[in-house]
Structure 1
């Protein structure tokens, strides 16, 4: 063969000879790539690259005897399956799965008794890529917007304020002084369910009962004889509300997610009430603090306790749900300084907020709270440790990106989808619905 090549090299022009040589090499490489898995031979892994990355990162695993059929190739990173997107005999192409952690890469080739498995000696390190993005909403160059329904890419918002999910992960959104909006679970369109007015002029909070057949909407008004809480049901598609409770100036309410007991407040007297579903009447439990106390009630998923977020005094109380009486025990001071509007991470009463609003829980009972006038999202652990989760404290603006480089402008509402690893934020003065992806 060498003699033939030498002869060709002497008799042919250099360019022609080079072309023939490259073609021969390419044919040889193609044959190697197209080789099928040979169960009589060992499978080897030489290396993989990169050795770290986040979800969706493409990894290439180099080795031998991988075959050319993706259907018989399986890859696991730290025992978590990684999608295989391509294979040739010497390389496997995979995508890094979500939350892969840190561990060895395991390759399986073949099926049944012919299967071969090999484990790498080095480990892959997963990197969490938590970022702030924008789901919907925009303004023109002058900062103007409107209430616009339809395709989510064209939808607009004016005062996004409070958020909640139904059992299908559809989003229900209050616009302050304006009404109730809806975003489907696929996040493809927006529609208005009702407009404020006719006595329901300033809807403040939303809460579903445990079976999702009742949506409570609290209403903040100054008439002691006016509407305090309305309810909506699936029969009307949550488009028609009915009066439920009168005679309170109400900033917030919530239903226990296990028992369905509904609690709400009175701003004028700083009082906490329980709604009796049997007698259809409200029962005063206690005064939380002073008069003109603006607060809302937010239950943990277990229903065992709730946080009382005092908006106009910038602190948070904690109250235990009493299963024997179906009431909330007298609250205790948990985090923040009573009446001290400021910014400071810390523990318990040493931490500072500036008009906190809605919060949401993760599976570990960490509470993520919108800190409105600090323009950021704060995290509160069950032990009362307060830290800044997202945003630039005291710096309002509109910027997507890494958690602490992103900017909000008076964020008001927040909910968390555990399965998707995504927070949704009602970013009021940016007139947008923002996302925080944390996997």
Structure 2
């Protein structure tokens, strides 16, 4: 059974009528915080009912400048909805989209979705294409959709329009063109006809109408393009990208391709319309890859497309928070360490957020475990509490271990999110620091951070005890290296100073970063300790070999198959590479504290802390004080 929209009857929204300075009753929402009304999607044929179509239609408020969805809701069986957004502070003179979405064929998976749209304007209250009176009511219809579509198309073609002139220009199916920059003959009437035809064909009018700026004409695509593959998997700035699919069009201005915010200047389509080639801009860097219709509708080709020789941002808005979302919409609160789960996602620990977040390869962020408050509670998902969570490692059986740093414990987390105590001592719901070997129930730690397995043995960087602890498969905790006295003494029985992380090379040598003393130490299989790179208690930023190189508060380590170390140089805002011969170079980061994506050595970090090296040698970095997850592709 197929449904479509009756065009003569639109979608009506009645906004809460109140003035901007009137005192509101307790608990009431301000005018900027509420849109309420009713969606009416009548059926095209007598075979369907109004309730079947109007029920569960989606209504979304979208910032036109950022394309960010600010709030969304669904209608009830009668088409009623309440759309609230208490945190929104609309910008005076700004334009917003109000979209109504409806999946055809009962929202069946894979079925088409159509939209109606109007433009909203905030001028101390909401105005729209259909009403100049503040907060007096908004209507979505085929006519408002036609104007919104024409505006997007012409703006994309470079036509300057004063959108404020469009307020209160649509009345039913009539458009008052005077002073708007649009005309009935050339814009409104032809686009309205295409909107009508698109809906009749069960096509989304916002994604299926094109504009040719050369001829000033609009066309309706009979079939929409779709993309089956994108290659290569990792691109190169200055190279090219190949899309395979169907129904590509060579019409000038039909598409625009963006690597993040960097636009490709041109593209070409094969004669059979099944291959589209896009030159990659030399200035592009790893970011979402999108194909945009000239009316602004976007198709995400890759949630995050990697480009070699660049640093990009996978997720994080750059402000502290705990908002789940995709890419730059999500927020973190000082992410410090990360590792992969069994499904290829990243698990990210938040030092201040006291949560473990899950990040998919395309940047979708959700909360895995942790309620956000400081604590020691076991439980499932957000019932569990941590106190400054740190590094994570996958256990041989598939569960995860987390260093719960300020609780001085190791916590065990199942893939389903059940959190329990693994090792450490607590009293009255407080984790207790200590320096005792023993079994899992009696052994104590003092700020455990980095962890690695070698075989079935777990090694833990016990930072404030200045030791590396070993936990065997039977749960016996012993001291592997370090005397417990901070220092720099070498040899068997030598000293460590604030070990923060550790890795093993293929020969069984352990490498340890000493955060407070700016060195990388090497511990041979027999326990002999030496300094591999850097100088004890000398902080600087020098690429060189061995003891001549300099670091500043190295936070964590990872290692590749060729035994090259990658050092997260917290104080220098860099990622450093150390070869097996001890040659230290800068892999990424300019050394200037800040935030910038781009070429490897131009990128900026703000005290990065953790890194995970994927099998394809992509390096994922927790950029702690930028509250972001960065991707280094080399």
TM range (shorter): 0.5 to 0.7
d(CA) in 1 for partners of 2:411, 2:554: 24
TM-score (structure 2 length as normaliser): 0.45
Task: Give 3-state SS (helix, strand or coil) of 1:337's partner.
Answer: coil
Matches within 5 A, 1:394-405: 395-405=592-602
Change (3 A) 1:167 1:261: same
Aligned to 2:558: 360
The match for 1:390 among 588, 601, 606 is 588
The match for 1:184 among 347, 360, 365 is 360
CA shift digits 1:270-295 (9 cap, x unpaired): 122211331x3311233167439321
- Give the superposition deviation at 1:254: 1.9
- Unmatched runs of 5 consecutive residues or more in structure 2: 1-235, 243-267, 281-306, 377-385, 426-443, 488-496
Change (3 A) 1:263 1:298: same
2:316 maps to 1:137: yes
Aligned to 1:267: 463
- Give the superposition deviation at 1:248: 1.4
The match for 1:198 among 355, 371, 375 is 375
Task: Give 3-state SS (helix, strand or coil) of 1:349's partner.
Answer: helix
Aligned to 2:421: 242
- Unmatched runs of 5 consecutive residues or more in structure 1: 1-52, 60-84, 98-127, 323-328
- Give the superposition deviation at 1:56: 4.8
Aligned to 2:477: 282
Aligned to 1:296: 500
Aligned to 2:518: 314
Matches within 5 A, 1:31-70: 56-57=239-240
CA shift digits 1:372-423 (9 cap, x unpaired): 1111111111111101111112x1011111111111110111112233x422
2:586 maps to 1:411: no
CA shift digits 1:283-334 (9 cap, x unpaired): 1233167439321343247472321111111101122446xxxxxx233211
Change (3 A) 1:331 1:165: farther
d(CA) in 2 for partners of 1:399, 1:156: 17
Aligned to 2:42: none
CA shift digits 1:75-124 (9 cap, x unpaired): xxxxxxxxxx96679xx987899xxxxxxxxxxxxxxxxxxxxxxxxxxx
Does the aligned pair in 1 maintain the 2:409–2:421 contact within 8 Å? no
Task: Give 3-state SS (helix, strand or coil) of 1:408's partner.
Answer: coil
- Give the superposition deviation at 1:150: 3.1
Task: Give 3-state SS (helix, strand or coil) of 1:382's partner.
Answer: coil
Does the aligned pair in 1 maintain the 2:326–2:363 contact within 8 Å? no
Aligned to 1:124: none
Change (3 A) 1:189 1:286: closer
- Give the superposition deviation at 1:219: 2.7
Does the aligned pair in 1 maintain the 2:501–2:555 contact within 8 Å? no
Aligned to 2:394: 208
Over 6 Å off, 4+ runs: 92-97
Does the aligned pair in 1 maintain the 2:560–2:613 contact within 8 Å? yes
Does the aligned pair in 2 maintain the 1:55–1:95 contact within 8 Å? no
2:408 maps to 1:217: no
- Give the superposition deviation at 1:431: 1.2
Does the aligned pair in 1 maintain the 2:568–2:608 contact within 8 Å? yes
Change (3 A) 1:344 1:153: closer
Matches within 5 A, 1:51-90: 56-57=239-240
Change (3 A) 1:210 1:283: same
Pairs aligned (count): 308
Does the aligned pair in 2 maintain the 1:363–1:418 contact within 8 Å? no
2:616 maps to 1:435: no
- Give the superposition deviation at 1:147: 1.2
- Give the superposition deviation at 1:362: 2.6
The match for 1:232 among 392, 413, 426 is 413
Does the aligned pair in 1 maintain the 2:451–2:461 contact within 8 Å? no
TM-score (structure 1 length as normaliser): 0.63
Aligned to 1:161: 336
Does the aligned pair in 1 maintain the 2:557–2:611 contact within 8 Å? yes
CA shift digits 1:131-170 (9 cap, x unpaired): 111111114xxxx431111334421012011111123321
Change (3 A) 1:300 1:273: closer
Does the aligned pair in 2 maintain the 1:160–1:174 contact within 8 Å? yes
Change (3 A) 1:334 1:94: same
d(CA) in 1 for partners of 2:402, 2:276: 51
Instruction: Calculate the aligned-residue CA RMSD, in Å.
Output: 2.9
